[in-house]
Structure 1
């Protein structure tokens, strides 16, 4: 729930969240096998305000590279981008736990590099956790961060930062060897200490088996309804893009609504019917 106040400097009505307690890392970790965790991506203050009452987790994903900046992949995303958007999402939320993706190149070199950059993210954004991609190769880093007070969300299966090595965005685990590798990756980062684990773009049986065998909750995206929670890119879910991955269900048609609103606005401007009496200022009598 939100109330609205008027910002005197801009005359905008700003939603003010009802004070409450933000969800914590232990609270989400304890949801294993319980009520499904509802997660969506958020990149801006306003979207955070709208999504927060309905979500347990808001992820500031490096997918902002494509969604916000029009980049071809997540690889060019910078730490500055993640910190700036992470801080905006924290300012716009009060209920959901906020986590921020560590961008490509900010953690792979060593656990020490990962700690420096993860601590910067938490300091500059106020977020509660970071997310990083990778399985067995990243287990040492997950353990290093977790032991030093930085909560980590793992991410295995289709890992977008590795798109060049993977050769594209196809679903993973179609053969036995790859399926076994994904399950080993899931177990490795879970045992290393991640408190949530994202399973992306994997065969359903892999997601079911990983959910059954790892101790932390799993968050599916193109995985299985039997995961402990689900996440989607919000803009995909809202229908803002014509083309989306197969695993997306569009719960709205914001692209159509925005187009219609812009068309109506353009028509009134062209006809000189906007602004009208209700939108202009005249001297008081």
Structure 2
């Protein structure tokens, strides 16, 4: 049975942690889905892990749609969520509705994610949800604002933490079905999680969120560099490199293919 946005909210009420990971192609998506991941995000992080950009900013909506179509083919059970990339939704609520609607129509995803909790973005989230498109909000460290915020932890002072809390409340009131909390103190994430009736998904936000997400390339040890809050469960860079070296040796020594 496919996971729904309503089910995520129900799991929060049941205190059942939500498992989320990112995907950028069919093969990865199929593996995550069959392993039982609840929520699969086609994140704009694919700009860096799959396309080689230095930040998430250069990726286009066309590129995100292309990858999300491939991911959709591999997903049967998990809720499929897609990031709207930089400047595909910030200009106006109308632009956001158009971009989000295109994602749902062309990829078969069930929801989109928008970064930011400032007043104009709250209005945009409200307008997109009123159009019948489920939206996950995203506060704390927002990578599309890298040139303003850098990659530093956000919400460390009392004033900054209160601002993020109020943004979270406003996004819930605007109709967001869930909220991603990125790189904020765990005490702040705990306060937000307790305050909201919608689930919080943490990345670098401590243990007290309703769920956790990682960039799958970080989890698998495929990333050259990864944030301090990520965890690698295997070093696939090393495994793949060794396999390629072994193959190369066998070809050069005429041991592959076997006679």
Note whether the superposition's TM-score is higher than 0.5: yes
Larger Rg computed on CA atoms? 1
**Cα distance, 1:242 vs structure 2:** 4.0
Q: What residue is the counterpart of 2:74 in the other structure?
A: 92
> Is residue 2:23 matched to residue 1:42?
yes
> Is residue 2:228 matched to residue 1:275?
no
**Cα distance, 1:243 vs structure 2:** 2.4
The partner residue of 1:105 within 75, 87, 92 is: 87
Q: What residue is the counterpart of 1:4 in the other structure?
A: none
Q: Mark the runs of 5 or more structure 1 residues left unpaired by the alignment.
A: 1-20, 278-285
Q: Deviations over 1:78-117 (max 9, x none)?
A: 0001101111111011010101000010111111110011
Provide the C-alpha distance between the structure 2 equivalents of 1:30 and 1:191, rounded to a whole number of angstroms: 18
C-alpha contact (below 8 Å) 2:49/2:223 kept by paired residues: no
Q: Deviations over 1:32-71 (max 9, x none)?
A: 2421010000000000010112200000000011001111
Provide the C-alpha distance between the structure 2 equivalents of 1:75 and 1:87, rounded to a whole number of angstroms: 20
> Is residue 2:137 matched to residue 1:154?
yes
Provide the C-alpha distance between the structure 2 equivalents of 1:74 and 1:48, rounded to a whole number of angstroms: 20
Q: SS state of the match for residue 30, structure 1?
A: helix
C-alpha contact (below 8 Å) 1:136/1:189 kept by paired residues: no
The partner residue of 1:51 within 14, 27, 32 is: 32
C-alpha contact (below 8 Å) 1:60/1:85 kept by paired residues: yes
Provide the C-alpha distance between the structure 2 equivalents of 1:162 and 1:109, rounded to a whole number of angstroms: 15
C-alpha contact (below 8 Å) 1:207/1:223 kept by paired residues: yes
The partner residue of 1:256 within 226, 233, 238 is: 238
Provide the C-alpha distance between the structure 2 equivalents of 1:206 and 1:174, rounded to a whole number of angstroms: 9
Q: What residue is the counterpart of 1:177 in the other structure?
A: 159
Provide the C-alpha distance between the structure 2 equivalents of 1:57 and 1:102, rounded to a whole number of angstroms: 16
Runs of 4+, deviation exceeding 6 Å: none
Provide the C-alpha distance between the structure 2 equivalents of 1:144 and 1:241, rounded to a whole number of angstroms: 36
Q: What residue is the counterpart of 1:15 in the other structure?
A: none
**Cα distance, 1:143 vs structure 2:** 0.9
Q: What residue is the counterpart of 2:6 in the other structure?
A: 26
Q: TM-score normalized by structure 1?
A: 0.88
Q: Mark the runs of 5 or more structure 2 residues left unpaired by the alignment.
A: none
Q: What residue is the counterpart of 2:206 in the other structure?
A: 224
Aligned length: 256
Provide the C-alpha distance between the structure 1 equivalents of 2:219 and 2:176, rounded to a whole number of angstroms: 27
> Is residue 2:205 matched to residue 1:212?
no
**Cα distance, 1:241 vs structure 2:** 2.2
C-alpha contact (below 8 Å) 1:136/1:184 kept by paired residues: no
**Cα distance, 1:29 vs structure 2:** 2.1
> Is residue 2:183 matched to residue 1:197?
no
Q: SS state of the match for residue 117, structure 1?
A: helix
Q: Deviations over 1:235-272 (max 9, x none)?
A: 10111124211111111111111011001001001101
The partner residue of 1:234 within 216, 221, 242 is: 216
